[in-house]
Amino acid sequence: MPEKLLQSLHSASARSPKRQTGRREHSFQIAQNLWVSFQYAGAGLKYAFVTQRNFRIHAVIGSIAVSAGVLLRLLPVELALIGLTIGLVLTLELLNTAIEAVVDLVVDTQYHELAKIAKDCAAGAVLVSTLASLGVASCLLLPPLWKVASLALLGH
């Protein structure tokens, strides 16, 4: 099956006019060098940030969490844990976006139960990582926040 798909894509592109130079002719081609790979990765990040509301929300909340950790003078290992969990959430958001795009490409506008399962499971993975990230951030940020708040309330 995949061989037939690749053959049909190749034969269709041979009949169609050449695309603009500098763009990938086929999405399955390997990047010419490391810099081009980074450009493709950057394009994916940009796409997610521009088009995915939840990616933006997670990025902003993650930035706030790291900033709070720096202001509260958390230990470097604590900041690293917060950063890792934020990275996990953003990574899963990117994978969720990719899975949704591939599923939409394959099923087009038709409903398919397996497509629903794939999309729901990908979204569930983001939810699980988000809850874990909230747990980590709460454990690391709330105690020093309470300390600062109590000192402020007591006037010290």
Cα(156)–Cα(145) distance, rounded to whole angstroms? 15
Residues involved in catalysis: 93
Output the CA torsion sign for 66, 58, 102, 112: positive
- Tokens in use for 117? 């399962």
Residue 62: partners with Cβ closer than 8 Å, 6 or more residues away? 86, 89, 90, 133
Cα(57)–Cα(52) distance, rounded to whole angstroms? 9
Residue 55: partners with Cβ closer than 8 Å, 6 or more residues away? 48, 49, 90, 93, 94, 97
